[in-house]
Chain A
């Protein structure tokens, strides 16, 4: 589904990704872990199509298509979803309006008719209930005045509505208390499907207790330095990132 080869990218003139190689198949959940500043968020943003991040080398294919040649909006419509680490507040743009516009953009790209307003409201209410979100969400601006936890729930809600083929969740677990973490994990697990894939970008192992990954990768210095199964995450938790980075030097 996703194949990243030798991906090298610059942000503000500085090389942050230095040759990432990663293959994610349909049905899989991958976790990308790493210390602060290792390039985890940059990788997520580059995959989603952030323009001011400059790709200088390498390739990314998504379902066989050249992902890097597509603008951000086209990637989204093709089924890629980024759950932001810091979702931006957009006062004046209603949450529901955005969700509906996003869903319709995707449907239009797939040649489907626009969603019926009544059905859409029913869908959103059902998913909100699942994510344990309050009714007031319906009338508020995008992420406006949301707590950190509410913003993350909103990201997962958007993901559930849009049903992406590939979800990249950038530290969706950070800043969540244990109850919110369970809700968010349930949301992510509900999307697990042989036709979909999930990439979890995370600093800590605790999310991986609830969303069990098929593969775990450690990103350091802008590339993947170690890969393994879920036990790698547990080992990292025990031994710290220095262990991997030390191994890299050795």
Chain B
């Protein structure tokens, strides 16, 4: 057993039992039996966790009171433009001031929900699975301390922000680096709609392991625009998974923005369970310095007349590596499923690497599925065109990089979030001073 696995097991043994014990127990046993994913596992073939396996981890201290002080935190929304900011520190929700009152969104802790309605809570936890893309979700289920539960009951026009903050000494001491398992459950009732921004940050130079999971369920006609923005420090390891379950005629627009962290693994599993369900997924994956970003999307069309779009833009500079794997599965009977996968990669350095792999698995007869993936350097024809109009080389290159990202950026409806994300993004690109002129 690896050092990492041993340390997770000892944390598990030290835990007090709670109402989710049978679910947690099953998840932990599967996790221990299967071990950490390796390069032999289908969705992990580009991400080597052997160095991580050699480390020990300790439970990140839960901070549940006192004002959070996210030092260099970039704010994604302006005060007047959002409904509320909820903060989770090291995976624990900061709800000490009482549950916030919001028109159209009920907020509770996950513990609060299992005190009130344990049966409902259990429905959000699937049975333990061996699927390699869900390996870390097993550990999250076993070890999460608490989490946030949001229930959207009607249309809410202003965005709600969830700020996930890693804080603490974080030193690789005798007990190892700190690990947290943030968990968020978002449920949108029939006809409800919301914009929710999850923003992951870390404080100072700490090197935490974050193993986060967000579970989204959309009722009939519900609409959600969801963002997850990874902006932790370069020392952070972030393993994030997102599950989306969609009912009839529900619509989800999802943005995954990788702008931080040293090792980032981001997965999305979406199930379009009923006719009319529609998902637009946008991924903006930025490789900077020696960052490693591994993004896996699996979208299952489980009902007829469902629609999915995946748009990914990967940029890799320096010695970074960006991976984007997407898979669309059309179940038997899910006729007239309509899916498109588009992934474009842009290499900004000879030592960077981008790997993309769009896949289709179709078990129905009448479907419309398209996919495409391209990776390259800046297009020399485009560059020459701009130069031939008198633009200097730096401006021309920056303009093309910015244009490359436009498909994802222009899809964002929260303008303040978009501009904050653009700002952070631009600072990680070459010629950032020139790029700022285009905003």
Q: Hey, which bits of chain A sit against chain B, CB under 8 A?
A: 48-52, 71-73, 75-77, 81-82, 84, 87-88, 90-93, 97-98, 101-102, 105-106, 109, 141-142, 158, 162
Q: Mind listing 30 A-B residue pairs with CB under 8 Å? A: A48-B384, A49-B387, A49-B388, A50-B384, A51-B384, A72-B384, A73-B388, A73-B393, A73-B396, A77-B390, A81-B388, A84-B388, A88-B379, A88-B385, A90-B400, A91-B403, A92-B402, A92-B403, A92-B407, A93-B386, A93-B399, A93-B402, A98-B386, A98-B389, A102-B389, A102-B390, A105-B392, A142-B385, A158-B389, A162-B390
Q: In the bound complex, do residue B388 and residue A82 qualify as a contact, i.e. CB atoms below 8 Å apart?
A: yes
- Which of A48, A51, A92, A102 sits near B391, CB closer than 8 Å? A102
- Interface size classification for chain B: 20 to 34
Check: B406 CB closer than 8 A to any chain A CB.
yes
Q: Does B381 contact A (CB under 8 A)?
A: yes
B350 at interface, CB cutoff 8 A: no
**Pick from B390, B395, B403, B405: contact of A90, CB under 8 Å:** B403
Give complex CA distance A153, B387 in Å: 20
Given the interface contacts A73-B393, A92-B404, A92-B407, does A52 sit within 8 Å of B380 by beta carbon?
A: yes
Minimum CB–CB distance from A86 to chain B (whole Å) comes to: 8
Indicate if B171 sits at the interface (CB-CB under 8 A). no
Residue B382 CB within 8 A of the other chain: yes
Q: Is B385's CB under 8 angstroms from A87's CB?
A: yes
A88-B379, A92-B407 as given contacts; A71 in contact with B390, CB under 8 Å: no
Contacts of A51 in B (CB 8 A): 384
A-chain residues with CB within 8 Å of residue B400 when the two chains form the complex: 90, 93
Give the complex CA separation of A106 and B387 in angstroms. Answer: 12
A88-B379, A88-B382 given; A93·B403 CB < 8 A:
yes
Contacts of A71 in B (CB 8 A): 387, 393
Contact A73 B385 (CB under 8 A): no
Given A73-B391, A75-B388, A101-B389, 8 extra CB contacts under 8 A = A50-B384, A73-B387, A87-B385, A88-B379, A90-B386, A93-B386, A93-B402, A93-B403
Per-position contact with A for B120-143: 1 when CB-CB < 8 Å, else 0?
000000000000000000000000
Write out the residue numbers on chain B whose beta carbons fall within 8 Å of the beta carbon of A49.
387-388
CA distance A130 to B253 in the complex (A): 42
Q: Which residues of A contact B402 (CB under 8 A)?
A: 92-93
Question: How distant is A108 from chain B, measured CB to nearest CB, in Å?
Answer: 9
Chain B's interface: helix, strand, loop or mixed, by majority?
helix
Question: A90–B378 Cα gap in the complex (Å)?
Answer: 11
Residue of A nearest to B438 (CB): A97
Chain B residues lying within 8 Å of A77, measured Cβ to Cβ, are 390
Residues of B within 8 A of A (CB): 379-382, 384-393, 395-396, 399-400, 402-407, 438
Alpha-carbon distance A142/B406, docked complex (angstroms): 13
Residues of A within 8 A of B380 (CB): 52
Residues of B within 8 A of A105 (CB): 389-392
Instruction: Decide: B379 and A72 in contact? CB cutoff 8 A.
Output: no
Q: Which residues of A contact B381 (CB under 8 A)?
A: 88
Question: Which chain B residue lies CB-closest to A74?
Answer: B390
Docked CA distance A75–B389 (Å): 9
- Taking a contact as CB atoms under 8 Å apart, the answer to whether A76 and B407 are in contact is no
Beyond A72-B384, A87-B385, whether A92 also contacts B406 by CB under 8 A is yes
CB distance from B165 to the nearest CB of A (A): 34
**Which residues of chain A come closer than 8 Å to B393, judged between CB atoms?**
71, 73
Chain B residue with minimal CB distance to A102?
A: B389
Do residues A141 and B403 form an inter-chain contact, with CB atoms below 8 A?
A: yes
Kindly report which residue of chain B lies nearest to residue A106, judged by CB atoms: B390
**Chain A contacts of B403 at CB under 8 A?**
90-93, 141
Q: Is the CB of A90 within 8 A of B387?
A: no
**What residues of B have a CB within 8 angstroms of the CB of A73 in the complex?**
387-388, 390-393, 396
Residue in chain A with minimal CB distance to B409: A92
| Assembly CA distance A76 to B387 (angstroms) | 8
Q: Are B385 and A90 in contact (CB under 8 A)?
A: yes
Which residues of A lie under 8 Å from residue B395 when comparing CB positions? 101
How far is A77 from B402 in the complex, measured between Cα atoms in Å?
24
The reply to whether A84 and B389 contact each other, CB–CB distance below 8 Å, is: no
- With both chains docked as a complex, state the minimum distance between the C-beta of B417 and any C-beta of chain A, in angstroms: 19
Alpha-carbon separation in the docked complex, A51 to B402 (Å): 23
**A113→B61 CA distance, assembly (Å):** 59
> How far, in angstroms, from A81 to B400 measured CA to CA in the complex?
21
- CB-CB under 8 A from A90, the residues of chain B are 382, 385-386, 400, 403
User: What distance in Å separates the Cβ of A96 from its nearest Cβ neighbour in chain B?
Assistant: 13
A90 to B385, CA, bound (A): 9
Shortest distance in angstroms between B380's beta carbon and chain A's nearest beta carbon?
7
The residue among B381, B388, B392 with the most chain A CB atoms within 10 A of its own CB is B388
- The complex places the Cα of A142 from the Cα of B396 at a distance, in Å, of 13
Bound-state CA distance A81–B396 (Å) is 17
A162 proximity list for chain B (CB < 8 A) = 389-390
- Among residues of B, the one whose C-beta sits closest to the C-beta of A103 is B390
A102 to chain B, nearest CB (A): 4
